[in-house]
């Protein structure tokens, strides 16, 4: 899968995704300080899933109608790095390529996902 990891995502999670064969562009490595709207635009332009821990992206996508190929919001305690990877992989296993059309929230005990619909 092709991901764009926001700079708030832990480097260890990015490294784990890469070790699992995912193509991950990491904002912290090449575009630190990029505005949220520009991060969404980059993810959309490159057809990448946007991975973040920042709830503000939901506001940009749903209220301000910024298009995005898919958005995955991690809502797990930052100290739980192994749990984050396991739960993220559970979301990938469950939804697969359909993640590209969804807003998915990954929590420790559940996954929530809904289709992205554009007006």
Is the pTM higher than 0.75? The answer reads: yes
Residue 30 CB neighbours (<10 A): 9
Residue 34 CB neighbours (<10 A): 16
Say what angle helices 11-19 and 81-95 make with each other, to 10 degrees: 50
C-alpha to C-alpha distance for 42 and 80, rounded to whole angstroms: 28
Q: Given pLDDT bands bounded at 50, 70 and 90, which one contains residue 119?
A: very low
Q: Given pLDDT bands bounded at 50, 70 and 90, which one contains residue 118?
A: low
Residue range 2-115 forms a domain whose CATH class is: alpha beta
C-alpha to C-alpha distance for 24 and 10, rounded to whole angstroms: 13
């Amino acid at each position: 899968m092709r991901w764009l990891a926001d700079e708030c995502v832990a480097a260890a999670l990015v490294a784990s995704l890469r070790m699992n064969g995912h193509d991950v562009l990491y904002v912290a490595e090449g575009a630190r300080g990029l505005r949220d709207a520009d991060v969404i635009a980059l993810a959309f332009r490159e057809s990448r899933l946007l991975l973040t821990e920042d709830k503000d992206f939901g506001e940009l996508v749903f209220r301000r109608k910024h298009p995005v190929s898919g958005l995955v919001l991690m809502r797990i305690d930052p100290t739980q790095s192994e749990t984050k990877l396991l739960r993220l992989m559970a979301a990938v296993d469950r939804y697969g390529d359909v993640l590209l059309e969804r807003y998915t929230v990954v929590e420790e005990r559940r996954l929530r996902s809904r289709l992205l619909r554009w007006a």
